[in-house]
Amino acid sequence: MGRILDMLPELLTCEPHNDIYPLLDFLLNEVEIPYHHVQKSILRCPRLLVSSIENRLRPALCYLRELGFVGRHSLTCQTTLLLISSVEDTLMPKVEFLTGLGFTRAEVSKMVLRSPGLLTYSVANNLVPKLDFFLNEMNRDVAELKRFPQFFSFSLEGRIKPRYAMLVRLGLSLPLQEMLQVSDGGFDSMLLELRFSQLEV
């Protein structure tokens, strides 16, 4: 509570019946978050407590459901933070960016369902620089991003560039998932195995 109130001191003056209870009702009955997960949703995204249901949360919920966040892909306590996003200023630009790469709306839906974080990244500061490196430095086919959209969730400077540079230096190539998803130790072990297999040929 201390952390939340420090972030959102306006909560100290809110009226629970008018401000908090409607949010709880929205999360439980419209988003259909299980009761025992509501606390996790709020801890993960305290701004839910001060976001307008009518102007922000419900429009975002409707848009996300159109994208496919329904059924087994319904929002969870891990992804309810997407609800505080503006449809026009945050969610739609990400979808338009991905469709602009040549993906269909159905393909984009599958991508964001596999990697919901795509909808939270800045187009200018995150998606565009990584795409530029992917296309112009790595010379990869954009279709590979459809198979592994999590590419955009990795740090460009901290993981993508260093690992790609190491592969180039060793004359090796790996699918994106193998290149990025393993730990640093796992990546080093994989490179050793690849080098040994080359020597045995």
Q: What is the mean pLDDT of the chain?
A: 90
Residue with tokens 């112009």: 136
- pLDDT tens figures, 128-173: 999 999 999 999 999 899 889 999 999 999 999 999 999 999 888 8
Return d(Cα 59, Cα 74) in angstroms, integer.
15
Number of domains present in the structure of the chain: 1
Residue 33 included in any domain: yes
Residue 131 included in any domain: no
Please enumerate in sequence order all residues whose Cβ is within 8 A of that of 129, keeping only pairs 6 or more positions apart, or say none: 156
Region of 21 please: left (phi>0), alpha (psi -120 to 50) or beta: alpha
pTM for this prediction: 0.82
Residue 119 included in any domain: no
DSSP assignment letter at 113 = H
- pLDDT tens figures, 72-113: 999 999 999 999 999 999 999 999 999 998 889 999 999 999
Amino acid 8: pLDDT: 67
Residue 158 included in any domain: no
Amino acid 193: pLDDT: 84
- pLDDT tens figures, 18-48: 878 999 999 999 999 999 999 999 889 899 9
Residue 5 included in any domain: yes
Return d(Cα 80, Cα 33) in angstroms, integer.
9
DSSP assignment letter at 30 = I
Q: 23 lies in which domain range?
A: 1-85
